[in-house]
Structure 1
Amino acid sequence: MKLKALLVDDEYPILNNLSKVLKWEELGVEVAGMARNGAEALKFAEEQQIDIILSDIRMPVMDGLSLAKEIRERGMRTEILLLTGYQEFEYARTAIRYGVKDYISKPIHYEMLEQTVDKIARQIRTERGASRRGSQLNSVVNWASEHFITQILSGRGQFLADEDGEEEFLSHPRYSVMLADLEGYAKSSTFWTREERRRFNCRMKKLLKERLPFGDGQTVLQLREGEWFIFYDADSIIQKTREVLYPVYSELQRLARTAGDMEVRILAEKGPFSLNELSGVYHRIQRSLLLTPSEEWLLNGEELKPGLFEAPEETPESQWRWLEQIGSALRGEDENGVRKVIDELRTYLALLDEHAALRAEKMLHYMLIHLLREMRELQLLKDHEEEAVWEELQQPLGLKDLMHLLSELAIRPKGPASSRKPAEQLMMVAGDYIARHLGGDFGIEEVADHLGISCSYFCLLFKNHYGETFVEYVTRQRMEAAKKQLATSEASITQIGQGLGYQERRYFTKVFQKYTGVTPSDYRASVHGVQGSVMKE
């Protein structure tokens, strides 16, 4: 891990010596920049991630102590090494209160300085390395938000690395996965109210979070009702998985049986997988669990036969892609897309021999159940309509009957989604809610609950109405508000950021610069001219 250093001194010869005399390459440190005073250094540190600052104390505009104070008040994780004359020793001692790592007396002994920098660099790597796996996974919700990761797994977004080190974090295989599913949930919950379904799913998720044995390095996500996807640090992999998970399974099963005729099934796969792979892994193990006989409550993904979910093209199992395409078309309100898939499926089934047709009946049965759950999540079925489908499925249906039922279900009028006026009204209320809460900590779940609809249905309506994702829309609203405040108010940049929901100035600066191409300081200066640069920072 290569670290970045910033050199700060008002004497150019000293800056020049610091940049050339020390063996930075051998230390694994890159000199990212040089500044002539604390103000220049602070601006540089706000715009780039700096690991080590080497700074003189006495400088014009802003001295080294003030720089250290500002660095700490902004919450920057930067180690500071002060360069000080003998007479300034007391100042150096005072600087310890600001988290200064060490100090070197002038005239500079460069060999001692190099040893000190090496020690600090090693400490940084040790501290970050020790906590990296657990803390990165534990804080992944803070880094990207649980809702965003859910969007990624459902195929409506992607991870993007925009800082040094993030690409390695995204692509390094370090996570094991698990999928917990309730067989029979769709039918059992048909006549539950929305609030009853929400409470039941929350109880199951809470139980998983509290009882799974993977510690802080686990994340439990729910992409649809009756199903939970768990990923956790592969280093926490446990021996005797069945024995350790059985108490968790028993509690889940007890809760499920109390609520209805449901069976808990779990599929675990140790991997390891990277964050970038999780979306594909989720859909693969979801398909595996659906197509596997239900005699066992726990399945090992590595032991499943490849043919179970990677069947040759001519088998019904390989046509899983049709179900995924129907789901995608339903979410996008693409009726032509749904009809196209149905027509392809009819053509395929018409060419099957008797033996293959028997297997296709099982697949169509699974497809109908899966489609019911998808339409339930999107609120595209009324309770009595869903019950009618379940009653049909209880009958001995042949291939033709199953195909007719699937076609009728997928192409029928889609309830709430077919009425544009209610959808537009919902989105007007959503827009008003967002405008009134720009400075708060809220996400998709809070807005969807406010509207009384599911998160999936909210995302569908929002993207169709506004032409952008929820995160993109909220970010744009916040950035436009920030531009207006920077141009018209004398509030500090930190205050403006906090007022718009960004508690850390650095993160606010990063988002603003990505949106406008300039930092908040430069934007304010450009609006007010040179004189504006004296306004509050």
Structure 2
Amino acid sequence: MTGKVMIVDDEPHITRNLEKVIPWEMLGLEVAATAKNGREALEALQGGEIDLLLCDIRMPVMDGMTLVKTIRDAGMDLDIIMLSGYQDFSYTRTAIQYGVQDYILKPIPYDELTGVIARVMSQRRARQRQQQDERVRMNAVLDLANEKVLFDVLKDYTDVSHNHWLVAEDEHELSGRSYLLLVLDMDAGAEEAKDWREWNDKERKLWNFAVANVLRESLRRSGMRHAVIQMRDGEWCVLAAMKEGYRFDRGETSQWIEKLLEEIRKHVKLSLHAGVWGDLVDMKGLSTAYKRVHRSMQLDPEAERIRFFTGETLLQNVSHEVLWSSSERILEALKRGHAQDVNEEMKLLSSRLQSLGTPELGRIKPVLHYFALHLMREMKEMQLLGKEQEEALWRKLDRRISAKDLLSVIRQTADAGLAGSSDKKKHSERTIAEAKAYLDRNLYRDIGVEEAATRVGLSTSYFSLLFKQTYGETFIEYVTRQRMEKAKQLLENTSKSVAQISKEVGYSERRYFTKVFMKYTGENPTDFRARLQQPG
């Protein structure tokens, strides 16, 4: 990319010579503007970016030093080489104070000036590359951090607005962000999923990890800011942050999603189904949009691999909607281990099915079949189904069975889940307490929810649910709060640097730590420490 140069000198012949004699093209530069004094230069600077300014000192209207001071006060990012016939060191000292890169005496030695320009621009380009690398690293840190938070947002475990202390991005940046929400799910009842059923937990984790990596790499190549969140075994939510002014286009979106699905087919040998929320959604609307897409993917009888859903989609079949709502209440009661609520909902579900005629039962059957699959996957996530129980239920679902038999499978799955949950309740309490103690001992490490869940032998989604139920806040909220409180203590009671404290509380990137700390306390770490150390 060609750099832009501005020449500011009140002597026209010097300006002409500089334009003609300096090998600008060889230096990767072009003269974009000239001016006869500082005021003209400032007006020209409003019209576009300039990388390098060659500036005389003595000029009418506004001299060079005043121009340079004004540029620096305004925070303009450009390099400056001063040209002057004055050898007085006071000029040089003032120029250095204003951040001038070099100072050339007139008459201008053009060969020397060419070398100075080459050196200054080489340093500028190296600095720009470094800043770009830092931005890429910082964006990666922010994306990973927000990805950890977004699971809880999608599950409605936490309410995160743009000014919430968990979200470490600039408020203006996040408040204007809109997401394209995509849910990718496997068909657990399909023929190609039979291998997946036979895998052990380690094999499934590796497979899930591989799918997530393929998605992230494909999205990275597209240049999109994105998050890939595994919602459960075999299901992912992809959030792509769209730039302001982006208009949702189903045709373009379908092509993009088809490329993602093809990448997964190619590298992981698996076909997934995609459900897309039919409009862009902000942070506050993510949970509702995710739940609606997740539900609609199961209630929509069409078999297209890519389907779009909106708020109206759910109203197309009221009987399906009522059945699904009942099914969700059964699942929520199972997760809480409330046997009475499960039994009452099962009775209501059975009564509803008995009141339906044969044609309606036939239409309801696919929803019942999905709920049986959904329930089994959720019980598997919560480790409430034994291997033999799971295999027996799969054998039944693989056969063509009636709606009545499907209800029996749901009942058996629920009973198995209840039996497992009553045995596991006290064990789960001990397990989460063990995880909390592990976190408290390892705050200095960048521990993710996946590591903590694996440590105590639980799936990520079930661990997140138990942690929220037990402590009233999400895993990420708890860890971040503990780290910030520890950082406050260290800032108040030790002389350790901010960089040292950042690492001691688990943040390898000091700037990211500062962002989180400012969100949490309203002050940056240096100001926080200075305020506490003020006398009186």
Same fold (TM over 0.5): yes
TM-score interval for Structure 1 and Structure 2 normalised by the shorter chain: 0.5 to 0.7
Encode CA deviations 1:434-478: one digit per residue, 9 max, x unaligned.
Answer: 233212222111222333321112223323444432123223332
**2:424 is equivalent to residue 439 of structure 1:** no
Match of 2:239 among 227, 231, 234: 231
**2:146 is equivalent to residue 145 of structure 1:** yes
Match of 1:192 among 199, 205, 227: 199
User: Which residue is 1:376 aligned to?
Assistant: 380
Separation of aligned partners in 1, 2:433 and 2:372: 34
Match of 2:212 among 180, 205, 208: 205
Q: Answer yes or no: is the 8 Å Cα contact 2:264–2:271 preserved in 1.
A: no
* Aligned-partner SS, 2:280: strand
Matches within 5 A, 1:412-431: 412=416, 413-415=418-420, 418-431=423-436
User: Which residue is 1:468 aligned to?
Assistant: 473
Structure 2 gaps, min length 5: 1-45, 47-68, 79-88, 102-127
Matches within 5 A, 1:46-125: 90=93, 93-94=96-97, 96=99
* Aligned-partner SS, 1:441: coil
Encode CA deviations 1:16-46: one digit per residue, 9 max, x unaligned.
Answer: xxxxxxxxxxx9xxxxxxxxxxxxxxxxxxx
Separation of aligned partners in 2, 1:214 and 1:397: 45
Q: Which has the larger radius of gyration?
A: 2
User: Which residue is 1:394 aligned to?
Assistant: 398
User: Which residue is 2:456 aligned to?
Assistant: 451
Separation of aligned partners in 2, 1:168 and 1:342: 48
* Aligned-partner SS, 1:273: coil
TM-score by length of 2: 0.64
Encode CA deviations 1:296-322: one digit per residue, 9 max, x unaligned.
Answer: 3333447xxx87532354x12343222
**2:267 is equivalent to residue 298 of structure 1:** no
Separation of aligned partners in 2, 1:168 and 1:417: 48
Amino acid at match of 2:179: Y
Amino acid at match of 1:407: R
Encode CA deviations 1:318-376: one digit per residue, 9 max, x unaligned.
Answer: 43222333333333344444344334323433433333233233221111111111222
Separation of aligned partners in 2, 1:256 and 1:165: 34
Encode CA deviations 1:366-417: one digit per residue, 9 max, x unaligned.
Answer: 1111111122222221221111111222344333332233233224335367
Q: Answer yes or no: is the 8 Å Cα contact 2:228–2:236 preserved in 1.
A: yes
Q: 1:523 Cα deviation (Å)?
A: 6.8
The 1:348–1:88 alpha-carbon spacing in structure 2 relative to 1, beyond 3 Å, is farther
Separation of aligned partners in 2, 1:136 and 1:175: 22
**2:279 is equivalent to residue 279 of structure 1:** no
Separation of aligned partners in 2, 1:355 and 1:224: 34
Q: Answer yes or no: is the 8 Å Cα contact 1:175–1:270 preserved in 2.
A: no
* Aligned-partner SS, 1:178: strand
Q: 1:497 Cα deviation (Å)?
A: 3.5
Q: Answer yes or no: is the 8 Å Cα contact 2:143–2:227 preserved in 1.
A: no
The 1:381–1:492 alpha-carbon spacing in structure 2 relative to 1, beyond 3 Å, is same
Encode CA deviations 1:262-321: one digit per residue, 9 max, x unaligned.
Answer: 64322345522223222222222222322334643333447xxx87532354x1234322
Separation of aligned partners in 1, 2:308 and 2:408: 35
User: Which residue is 2:160 aligned to?
Assistant: 159
Match of 2:330 among 318, 326, 330: 326
Separation of aligned partners in 2, 1:250 and 1:241: 14
Amino acid at match of 1:145: N
**2:505 is equivalent to residue 496 of structure 1:** no
Separation of aligned partners in 1, 2:352 and 2:138: 44
Q: Answer yes or no: is the 8 Å Cα contact 1:180–1:265 preserved in 2.
A: yes
Amino acid at match of 1:205: A
Amino acid at match of 2:155: S
* Aligned-partner SS, 1:158: coil
Separation of aligned partners in 2, 1:513 and 1:335: 45
Amino acid at match of 1:189: W
Structure 1 gaps, min length 5: 1-26, 28-56, 58-64, 69-77, 100-126, 532-537
Amino acid at match of 1:226: G
Separation of aligned partners in 2, 1:509 and 1:246: 40
Q: Answer yes or no: is the 8 Å Cα contact 2:210–2:268 preserved in 1.
A: no
Q: CA RMSD in A?
A: 4.4
Amino acid at match of 1:375: M
Match of 1:356 among 345, 360, 370: 360
Q: 1:141 Cα deviation (Å)?
A: 4.5
Separation of aligned partners in 1, 2:504 and 2:460: 26
Separation of aligned partners in 1, 2:374 and 2:297: 12
